[in-house]
Amino acid sequence: MRDRNIYHPVNIRSDFVRKNAFELIINDHDPLRILCKSITVVLPKTNAVQVPWISGVMQLAGRVNQQYSFTATFLVGLDHQYDSWRNLYDWRNKVFNHDTGRIALAHEYKKEATINIYDVTADEDSTGNSLQYMIKADGVWPTDIQDLTFSVEDDTVLEVSANFAADKIWIEKFSK
């Protein structure tokens, strides 16, 4: 049989990772159970630093001072455990309580987060899941819960978006 991979960069028996099979877990002594609809992770960037050299300019890698962050959109459920609006609001008030003016200490509001990306077409492993990638974040806290607009013409599910800061974001696991 002829080798089709010469003409097809992806094996014809394989598939691509789907962007809709993921979950966000906010770790704590009582983990948040929030329904996440979408996540945009801002990964660190590398800066090209120009250095004078013998016959011109050479470029070396340099560090960019930017914060680690991600934005997530959550669906608001009716049950208390899935009421992401309440959960985010309570967490935001732990950071800075707008009613009392109290600013909390970092250990009171910073949490760990895990973003798991699954392959829905893959076989399950010995643990019973098809985890492809795991992104970890340390020192996560909400910096901004975006404004909500209510309208009588709109009967879709309520969504709440929030921006999060993190001390560090890294990819913990790649698929085999």
Q: Looking at residue 150, what DSSP letter applies?
A: -
Determine, yes or no, domain membership for 2: no
Determine, yes or no, domain membership for 136: yes
Cα–Cα nearest to 17, from 156, 132, 155: 132
Determine, yes or no, domain membership for 83: yes
3-class secondary-structure state, position 5: helix
Provide the pLDDT confidence category of residue 139 given band limits of 50, 70 and 90. very high
pLDDT of residue 1: 47
CATH of the domain at 52: 2.30.110
pLDDT reading at 17 higher than 80: no
pLDDT digits (tens, 9 = 90+) for 44-86: 788 888 888 888 888 888 876 778 899 998 888 777 667 788 8
What is the DSSP annotation of 80-121? GGG-HHHHHHHHHHHHB-TTT-PBPPHHHH-EEEEEEEE-TT
- Higher pLDDT among residues 128 and 154, named by residue: 154
Q: How far apart are CA 100 and CA 46, in angstroms?
A: 41
Q: How far apart are CA 77 and CA 98, in angstroms?
A: 25
Determine, yes or no, domain membership for 20: no
Structure-token pair, residue 107: 């250990």
| Contact predicate 75/39, CB 8 Å | no
Beta strands 22-27; 111-118: pairing state: antiparallel
Q: How far apart are CA 162 and CA 74, in angstroms?
A: 8
- Higher pLDDT among residues 63 and 171, named by residue: 171
Provide the pLDDT confidence category of residue 16 given band limits of 50, 70 and 90. low
Q: How far apart are CA 25 and CA 115, in angstroms?
A: 6
Determine, yes or no, domain membership for 166: yes
Read off the pTM.
0.76
Q: Looking at residue 68, what DSSP letter applies?
A: E
Its domain, for residue 37, covers: 32-173
pLDDT reading at 42 higher than 70: yes
Determine, yes or no, domain membership for 167: yes
- Structurally, the chain folds into a number of domains equal to 1
Determine, yes or no, domain membership for 158: yes
Average pLDDT of span 24-35? 72
Provide the pLDDT confidence category of residue 7 given band limits of 50, 70 and 90. low
Q: How far apart are CA 40 and CA 163, in angstroms?
A: 10
